[in-house]
Amino acid sequence: MIPIDHQPPGYWATNLYATPRKRPKSDAPIKDLPPRAAQRFKRAREGIRALRHVTEQVVFMGTAWKWVWMYEVGGRKLGYLHPMETGLSGTFIVTEEEERELALTDGLARASRQAIRDGR
């Protein structure tokens, strides 16, 4: 289960693509996001897709997350990109073992290490 309650109230209401029956094109955030956020989306998307065997799908994840860009390898979910009205959000899936390894990594930013520890 992926928690959605770690964000401020109303956060998920700012998802850029909210209409369940209107699937956004895979490159739509590059045009629809503010310029800096669009660049972040483009770089994140390119980086994830450059990983070996990664697939990308634009899927509707219900009334909270709405439309997301989902990344998988062989059926294992790696993460999601969430285009929001004013920026970009990401959710990444790590196993408990990966979480322990990341907690010991010196090269990981303190904010990232804290987010992993807090499940954000």
User: How much of the chain, in percent, has pLDDT values that exceed 90?
Assistant: 56
What pLDDT does 3 receive?
53
Element (H, E) at 73: strand 67-73
Each residue's pLDDT tens digit, 21-60: 999 999 999 999 999 999 999 999 999 999 999 999 999 9
3-state helix, strand, coil in the chain (%, to 5): 40, 25, 40
CA 28-1-43 angle, to 5 degrees, is 30
In the prediction, which pLDDT does 4 show?
A: 55
Q: What is the DSSP string of 54-67?
A: EEEEEEE-HHHH-E
pTM: 0.81
8-15: average pLDDT: 78
Terminal-residue alpha carbon distance, the chain: 13
Mean pLDDT along residues 91-113: 79
Whether residue 62 contacts residue 18, with contact meaning beta carbons closer than 8 Å, is answered with no
Max Cα-Cα span within the chain:
44
Instruction: Tell me the domain boundaries of the chain.
Output: 11-93
Q: Per residue in 55-85, pLDDT tens?
A: 999 999 998 889 999 999 998 999 999 999 9
